[in-house]
Structure 1
Amino acid sequence: MRGVSGTPALFALDATPAGIAFDGKGERLAVGLGDGTVRIVPVRGPARGGDPLTVAAHDGAVLHLRADGDGFLSGGDDGRLLRVGRDGGAETLLHVPGRWIDALAVNGGAWAAATGKTVHGLGAPLDHPSTVGALAFDPAGGRLAVAHYGGVTVWPVGGGEPQRLEWKGSHIAVSWSPDGRFVVAAAQDNELHAWRIADGTAMQMAGYGTKTRSLSWGAGGKYLATSGADGVVLWSFAGDGPFGKPPMELGPERKVLVTAVACHPREALIAYGYRDGQVSLIGFDDRPPVDLLPADGEPVAGVAWSADGGWLAAAGEGGRVALWRRGGGLMERVKGWLRGA
């Protein structure tokens, strides 16, 4: 298995990461932090190796960070949604005083953000029966899935009546299959729910040891990798989807829960992190994994690939960020990325 090689660049930040993402060109890595800043570091291109940017984005914590073309969108607990450019400039897209940005989704320049029960960004505000837990555009950008208590509401972006996908319980993450045929939502009660959009047929996907907060689709869209168990749980969405099919569980039985997963955008590889800080890489065929970072007791908060799969980053809850270049031997260490640099 071709993997990530070389020694990672390690950055010790003094705030908790709330989101980690590469820009669309894979030239810059951004991390949104609990101290309200967004850190942007060039990893390749003309600016590679230059000093990182520290953007004072929010009066409070960053809650969500997403790639947005060459830049990023950042939502904070100050009720602001910002577009942060590659040069560190910030533009306010939404401000709802006294509320948090509870959820955020981006697709091809379009965005949607939730404050409490209300979703903004699709014209008139859209209200829901309970606080919004997560948002996701379909791959074509024509529909928005809104997760909340009682299931998921799917809104046509251009207006019209929504589709209701019902299941009891509070839902905290949501994702579309790459072909747009299925919506999957993670629930507070340690299980997933999947719906086939064509007819609304629902399925329960249970057996997790904790809440599933990380969902990632494999290249080709036939498999969904998920966190929340002792190993990566991989569901098949080929044909009629996961209905009646047991999942695969990848990785050794370490008796430590997986907290974050990220499928390679082009190959059958999954990068994943554990609650004890270990970061590993495994193929869909369940051959022995490659361990990239040893356990150090700091839970992995997120992992992310660049769009071309050439770079991998992982962030720990204590502020540790690791960065690898895939297949390139020893990676040149990026200069001092510390708070205030």
Structure 2
Amino acid sequence: MTTLCVNPACPQPQNEDRARVCTACGQPLLVADRYRCLEVLGQGGFGRTYLAMAEGHDPPLRCVLKQIAPATGSPRSDAAQRFQAEAHRLATLGQHPQIPALLDVIDLDVTDGGQGRFLVQQYVPGPSLDRLLPGLPEAERLALTQRVLYELLPVLTYLHQHGVIHRDIKPANIIVPPAPQPLALVDFGAAKAIVDPEQLKHTATVIGSAGYAAPEQALGKAVYASDIFSLGVSCLHMLTGLHPFDLFSVSDDAWVWRPYAPAALSPALGRVLDRMAHRRLSERYSTAQEALADLRWSGLALGSAQPTAASATKTLPSGAATWEQRFALSLSGAVANGLAISPSGRAIAAACSDGTIRLWDCTNGQAIHTFRKPLGLLGPGHRGPVSALAFTPQGDAIVSGGEDGQLIQWHLADYSGEKLPLAGWQVAALLILPDATLAVGNGDGRINLWPLNREPMRREAPKALIHHQDQVTALAVEPIGRLLVSGGRDRTIRLWSLPSGRLVRTLTAPKQPITALACHPSDGRIVSGDPTGQVQAWSADHPDQGLKIYTAGSPVTALTISPDGGWLAIGTEGGQLNLIDLRAQPQTIQLRQAWAVRALAFTPDSRMVVSAGADETIRFWCYLEINELV
């Protein structure tokens, strides 16, 4: 093993293993008397990167020593300031587990006789992607590409949230450590910190690696989406085994990569890569979160969501999760058509087919109260099956709607009820928006919006949304665009602006009536179910591109997404409860509700899902990590 001299002007930098002074130029070999450089890992305009040993540790610690090239044509104070800024940036970014941590900062100015400026970073063992790719089988290239996207798009999100553009993402800067460590992104020598968004409008240094740099970056105008382009092109390289120069057609001004991609590549994943690597900035993803959201849903379309039987939980691999039934409630002669969980997660309410609204303690299943049908003609109460209900945002009341067209507000402080002055015909869907506006979907295709807690507006007539041509079957809220989403028997999904109620878009692509709806809390994706068992994902930005993400063996009767966005629950007429993990490479867990699933609801902490079945039961399923199983 040799010791390398870090003097850029040294004519013979190789020295013996334990030497302390360079035999060629006489400079000390130990940087700051403690770091011995062993191998050059990389070299560029910003300096060199060495594999080094920190000899102050016992045993000596492997690390990466980055030598900053002396700035030319700039005052010493400016160079020192830039060096300290980079050190501060790396110290912050290095807190992410997939970015090497900053271990030391060495400032020995060569103009004062020192060795120069160095940054010492954590060494991440493992080959870079460009060394791993040659000879890799087609199936492994596809799996590796998906892994790179799932593991590095969150890293880009982290960088961009901290105002940093990497500007040199390529296979050589992606390290593959031994399992189970995630991929690491290295070499931040070209990174740019954005202090003021106005900086993005001005031309700066042209930097990046040829073939991987985005067109705007090649003109000195890198933006956050430039990193998305570079990651997308890196994935095209991985998929095909060909350098970007060999994949780009100058005559067509377009990538020509599909003929060289694995045959198993799904169209959905191909569309994600096309959009990431689009040369036009306006057609590219603007944020890594958007790309990750599309990837998540396209991953479901890849067929990688393999069902896992609940009975097989004891043999699941390390790190997997399952759901197990904790307890069940018997409704004794009634079926719960709807479920709602209080904002605190303590109480669960059921809209029952016998006209009652029943309350239980969600933690132990103890009965709290039952709102019963009225005696005679007096008093509030439903005179037929209750179809839907919801808690108010404060959790102090419940609003219920039934097939009798009534809407009733039940006050939990004294268990009193009051009939709301809303004319309706067969309430089919109901929800309460975060601002306490009540949204009601009716059998005649109308949606009524009415403020629950705002006097004197409460005395005004409800706002009627009238574009559905048949029964409104489901309602949901899309939080990103502040939209009310409605689905109907007329085979449409309609998006309404809030709070105005203005119709902004109609999705006419569904081929079947909509039986259930849910919206992802962080990426805004809309999920719908239909009588044929199809579950599709929709984006408000691309309303004509529904993505089939699951096919059930019977009609879909209920959908819900956990508040943390990690799980999609699907209930079917055949009694299947399917839970799809949305957080990474998808897996599906199948649970069994004896008869048809009528309603689903997650607790606020996302660790319990409750299902109501046609077998007159309500079942409570709890999330368990493998290490929680006995």
TM-score by length of 2: 0.38
Cα offset, 1:207, TM superposition: 3.8
2:558 aligns to what SS in structure 1?
strand
Change (3 A) 1:72 1:169: closer
Identity %: 21
Partner of 2:491 in structure 1? 230
Question: Pick from 433, 453, 468: which aligns with 1:208?
Answer: 468
Over the residues paired in the alignment, what is the CA RMSD in angstroms? 4.1
Report if aligned partners of 2:391, 2:432 keep a CA contact under 8 Å in 1: yes
Measured against aligned partners, the alpha-carbon deviations of 1:21-77 in whole angstroms (never above 9, x if no partner) come to: xxxxxxxx9xxxxxxxxxxx99x9x99646732734213454144446278556766
Can you give the 5+ residue segments of structure 1 that lack an aligned partner in the other structure? 13-28, 30-40, 95-112, 119-125
- Paired with 1:224 and 1:308, the residues of 2 have a C-alpha distance of 20
Structure with higher strand content: 1
Question: Pick from 361, 380, 403: which aligns with 1:83?
Answer: 361
Which range is displaced more, 218-227 or 151-160?
A: 151-160
Is 1:328 matched up with 2:584? yes
Between Structure 1 and Structure 2, how many residues are aligned?
A: 276
- Paired with 1:143 and 1:128, the residues of 2 have a C-alpha distance of 15
Change (3 A) 1:290 1:3: farther
2:473 aligns to what SS in structure 1?
coil
Change (3 A) 1:114 1:308: same
Partner amino acid, structure 2, of 1:325: D
What are the within-5 Å matches in structure 2 for residues 1-341 of structure 1? 1-4=294-297, 5-6=299-300, 7-8=304-305, 10=307, 49=321, 52-53=324-325, 55-58=327-330, 59-60=332-333, 62-63=335-336, 64-67=338-341, 69=345, 81-85=359-363, 89-94=364-369, 114-117=371-374, 127-128=380-381, 130-131=383-384, 133-147=387-401, 149=404, 152-154=407-409, 164-180=420-436, 182-197=437-452, 198=454, 199=457, 200-219=460-479, 222-228=482-488, 229-238=490-499, 241-242=500-501, 245-250=502-507, 252-254=509-511, 256-287=512-543, 288-294=545-551, 296=553, 298-331=554-587, 334=589, 337-338=591-592
- Paired with 1:194 and 1:327, the residues of 2 have a C-alpha distance of 34
- Paired with 1:75 and 1:156, the residues of 2 have a C-alpha distance of 15
Change (3 A) 1:145 1:272: same
- Paired with 1:306 and 1:52, the residues of 2 have a C-alpha distance of 16
- Paired with 2:583 and 2:441, the residues of 1 have a C-alpha distance of 33
Partner of 1:105 in structure 2? none
1:127 aligns to what SS in structure 2?
coil
Partner amino acid, structure 2, of 1:232: I
Partner amino acid, structure 2, of 1:173: A
Report if aligned partners of 1:73, 1:83 keep a CA contact under 8 Å in 2: no
Larger Rg computed on CA atoms: 2
- Paired with 2:349 and 2:400, the residues of 1 have a C-alpha distance of 18
Structure with higher helix content: 2
TM-score by length of 1: 0.65
- Paired with 2:463 and 2:485, the residues of 1 have a C-alpha distance of 17
Change (3 A) 1:196 1:247: farther
Which range is displaced more, 53-62 or 278-287?
A: 53-62
Report if aligned partners of 1:8, 1:323 keep a CA contact under 8 Å in 2: no
Report if aligned partners of 2:576, 2:593 keep a CA contact under 8 Å in 1: no
Relative contact order (C-alpha < 8 Å, sep 6+): which is higher?
Answer: 1
Cα offset, 1:90, TM superposition: 3.0
Can you give the 5+ residue segments of structure 2 that lack an aligned partner in the other structure? 1-293, 595-630
Report if aligned partners of 2:446, 2:465 keep a CA contact under 8 Å in 1: yes
1:3 aligns to what SS in structure 2?
helix
Measured against aligned partners, the alpha-carbon deviations of 1:288-326 in whole angstroms (never above 9, x if no partner) come to: 122101375x22101111110011111111123322111
- Paired with 1:134 and 1:116, the residues of 2 have a C-alpha distance of 15
Change (3 A) 1:155 1:147: same
- Paired with 1:70 and 1:161, the residues of 2 have a C-alpha distance of 21
- Paired with 1:146 and 1:186, the residues of 2 have a C-alpha distance of 12
Which range is displaced more, 286-295 or 54-63?
A: 54-63
- Paired with 1:171 and 1:260, the residues of 2 have a C-alpha distance of 15
